[in-house]
Chain A
């Protein structure tokens, strides 16, 4: 068997290290070594987006992205959004629009929305749908999700994100 490797990276604003095997995925490392369960493996093929994590500001599928790849990177997971003073405007928008049912896929959609609004603060509906096309919601709360992104775009402009990423 291959030997474990020690990696160092920034996780939700803190410097951390981890011992990982070359085959360990990012989701596996976050769940087993850091107790972060907001990124969840579902399809296991990078098709559903339930495992979305922001790596250096870019959304990646944590079920396919190997843990060793994040050595030196800056990671943001769903747990980092908002703070003691309240939720992130994107999270607030998802609640306001009723943009989820079971909630299993929701962290992925929220992080994708963060990433979308970071580079396109005023997306139109087609841009929203194109950007979120890689995330699946079996409860099919898609109409409400589009509404949530629209709402988040409006409120994010007024009140910038409380996340530091």
Chain B
């Protein structure tokens, strides 16, 4: 206790990550490099057709290979897990395909061997024959229901508002969410101008550098899982359900994650690892390669048709949003994305008449889930491109038009919830100031033309969700925090230590945050949607307050005067006669929330907090090649009060750069349902040369109901990037792109088309 660390004032301090030394030394623990004694490695045989009935699976050659421990199919899985369908929103995904396959890459069989090379060679020799069925890939075609992906809908019981979908047949629509405010049709009828555009986003994926991996050591009455998961509590619940075990017989351990971004949420490879471990009666590791991740979980492609009516003064009086989400062959969390992001589809604008329809569509593609924004980046891309187009069509300055229509504090959002604690206008103003928006702008000449653009987005945190935390003070006065929030790089361990330290007057560096283990760490809904700092932050704060009250009670009990600053260790010694004992504080946190009316989406309390962020860019377009050079990228966000300003800045910057890849070049190319660029050689992610000059800022704000005024910051940096760049392209060269990514080819095609000399199709 003699080092230079000063107690107090932990919040707002840029504490280096608690695990920093372990990470720079290569010692931080990750599941992908973990091994258990006697462990077998699994390799997966995957479907080669997008939709079909399995006629036969011949595993004889694989089984005969020296070193092969076993080869298993969906029928084998049923012997240990009779109803082997899993998923967070729908129980639609089989552990291994049963009867039918629904996308190319779907797991059909698995081979186990001690040597992964043997397992891989054997997997190649499994012969599966299919009777192919018609398939559907595009979300708009899927909406016509000519080809149906699943015979009937199988919603899980996890979410009460999906129950009504149970047993629905002959539809690809897994969820249709509706919001109605005022009367959009009447609004359009009375509008001076009406504009309608359609925007699309492509299929991309998370590509965390640690691929998905789970290691199971299962017996019929107890399971231990080591897994790279963003949600160990859900994994535990789901594995317990599949096996018919109480939750205390399932132990889920999660070390650090080599990136997550939403890919490792809910349940991924865990069920397969458990099933194979039960079948083989040995520990089994299912470690995907990067290439296999392309067939496992992706971001939702989307089509968003948006229509806006404006009165003669330039006020937006009506907006109609129709959004189709391409969820792929299994629902994963798509229905939640459809609803929980869908309700913000009309954007950060004050509009009297709003109609939103948001549809989760099944298709015969690899499944889609949450990816850094839970659907928000797709929505902001569309509504901020569209808003810019409307402003330009009206001859209005895009900033001025936005400010006229902005949703301000005290005004109702489209859900009816009154806006509070969200600094949208400050975000927009700061972007404009940083861009010197009101000053003349050099537009370039000749081949190189310059333009600038901005965009702002709004997100509601997903509700209602719960976090529980435990805080333990040991006999020497040292403090340990037990919480289920996963540190996947966002710095949550450090932030939680800062919050506990702030309450208990202990430097964050001295607090231990234990690795996640469901035998030890209490329930948390999941590390997702920028919810953890708020929800778990509150739980940790309250657990620390609970411990603090117990410390005071102990001091009274041993006769210390009120306000005594006796060291904790001496307090324990007074009580127990030696360095012994514990003080345990605990708390659960669940914010207030009111569910939306199913018919109208209206609710007085849609979310515990709103997030707002945006981007501004200056770009240079080469009109001969279509290449875009980002001259400046400005990212501004309202994160409430930053618990750790340095980590917040890194999050903003990292999120914006990730979105820059999704904006400019990342795309999963699909041919007949087959991903044809499923490797990092053919799917480029941003590298060090792709980083433009960047400025990342937060605006002054306090989230009044947040822990120490804070709220989530992990996703907001993604919001404005894509539309800001598309808006800048139009500003520079007068062409409008409505589909991501904004590749040089797409830009050049648009320029040439606008000149009346279109390029020939490739």
A141 to B24, CA, bound (A): 14
Are A40 and B685 touching (Cβ within 8 A)? no
CB distance from A156 to the nearest CB of B (A): 15
Interface segment, one of B426-434, B513-521, B557-565, B653-661: B653-661
Kindly state whether residue A59 has any CB partner on chain B within 8 Å: no
Are A44 and B291 touching (Cβ within 8 A)? yes
Taking CB atoms and an 8 Å cut-off, the chain B residues in 355-408 that contact chain A are none
6 closest A-B pairs (Cβ-Cβ)? A38-B26, A104-B258, A102-B489, A103-B23, A101-B489, A78-B26
Find the B residue at minimum CB distance from A78: B26
Q: Dominant SS at the B interface?
A: loop
Are A42 and B210 touching (Cβ within 8 A)? yes
Question: When A100-B23, A133-B688 are in contact, do A139 and B32 touch as well, CB less than 8 Å?
Answer: no
Residues of chain B whose beta carbon lies under 8 Å from any beta carbon of chain A = 14, 16-17, 19-28, 30, 32-35, 66, 117, 206-211, 256-261, 289-291, 488-491, 646-647, 650-651, 653-654, 657-658, 679-681, 685-689, 691, 694
Residues of chain A whose beta carbon lies under 8 Å from any beta carbon of chain B = 1, 23, 31-32, 36-40, 42-45, 47-48, 50, 77-79, 81-82, 87, 91, 94-96, 98, 100-107, 110, 129, 132-133, 135-146
Are B687 and A136 touching (Cβ within 8 A)? yes
A133 to B688, CA, bound (A): 6
In the assembled complex, which residues on chain A have CB atoms less than 8 Å from the CB atom of B34?
37
Question: When A42-B210, A94-B24, A142-B688 are in contact, do A48 and B259 touch as well, CB less than 8 Å?
Answer: no
A133 CB contact (under 8 Å) in B33, B679, B685, B689: B689
In the assembled complex, which residues on chain B have CB atoms less than 8 Å from the CB atom of A103?
19, 22-24, 28, 256, 258, 489
A32 to B490, CA, bound (A): 30
Question: When A31-B33, A101-B650 are in contact, do A82 and B25 touch as well, CB less than 8 Å?
Answer: yes
Question: When A79-B26, A141-B654, A144-B650 are in contact, do A102 and B258 touch as well, CB less than 8 Å?
Answer: yes
In the assembled complex, which residues on chain B have CB atoms less than 8 Å from the CB atom of A100?
23-24, 489
Most A CB within 10 A of own CB, among B26, B211, B259: B26
A37 to B208, CA, bound (A): 18
In the assembled complex, which residues on chain A have CB atoms less than 8 Å from the CB atom of B206?
138
A98 CB contact (under 8 Å) in B16, B27, B680, B689: B16
Sampled A-B contacts (27; CB under 8 Å): A36-B26, A37-B33, A39-B26, A40-B209, A40-B258, A43-B679, A44-B291, A47-B680, A48-B680, A78-B25, A87-B24, A91-B21, A98-B14, A98-B647, A101-B654, A102-B489, A103-B24, A106-B23, A107-B26, A110-B24, A135-B688, A136-B685, A138-B208, A138-B209, A138-B658, A143-B653, A146-B688
Are A81 and B21 touching (Cβ within 8 A)? no
Are A140 and B23 touching (Cβ within 8 A)? no
Are A43 and B259 touching (Cβ within 8 A)? no
Are A140 and B658 touching (Cβ within 8 A)? yes
B650 CB contact (under 8 Å) in A43, A94, A98, A138: A98
In the assembled complex, which residues on chain B have CB atoms less than 8 Å from the CB atom of A43?
209, 290, 679-681
A87 to B291, CA, bound (A): 35
Question: When A31-B33, A101-B650, A142-B688 are in contact, do A87 and B21 touch as well, CB less than 8 Å?
Answer: yes
Q: Dominant SS at the A interface?
A: loop
Are A138 and B24 touching (Cβ within 8 A)? no
CB distance from B690 to the nearest CB of A (A): 8
Most B CB within 10 A of own CB, among A23, A31, A82, A100: A100
Most B CB within 10 A of own CB, among A1, A98, A102, A145: A102
Most B CB within 10 A of own CB, among A129, A140, A146: A140
CB distance from A37 to the nearest CB of B (A): 4
Find the B residue at minimum CB distance from A128: B688
Are B687 and A133 touching (Cβ within 8 A)? yes
Are A47 and B681 touching (Cβ within 8 A)? yes
A45 to B290, CA, bound (A): 10
A54 to B17, CA, bound (A): 27
A1 to B118, CA, bound (A): 11
Are A141 and B23 touching (Cβ within 8 A)? no
In the assembled complex, which residues on chain A have CB atoms less than 8 Å from the CB atom of B679?
43, 45
CB distance from A100 to the nearest CB of B (A): 6
CB distance from A129 to the nearest CB of B (A): 5
Are B35 and A32 touching (Cβ within 8 A)? yes
Are A136 and B209 touching (Cβ within 8 A)? yes
Are B689 and A138 touching (Cβ within 8 A)? no
CB distance from B141 to the nearest CB of A (A): 32
In the assembled complex, which residues on chain B have CB atoms less than 8 Å from the CB atom of A42?
209-211, 258, 290, 680
Find the A residue at minimum CB distance from B658: A140
**Apart from A1-B66, A107-B25, what 20 extra A-B contacts exist at CB < 8 Å?**
A40-B33, A40-B210, A42-B211, A42-B258, A42-B680, A43-B680, A45-B679, A48-B680, A78-B25, A95-B17, A100-B489, A101-B259, A102-B209, A102-B258, A104-B30, A133-B687, A136-B685, A138-B658, A138-B685, A145-B688
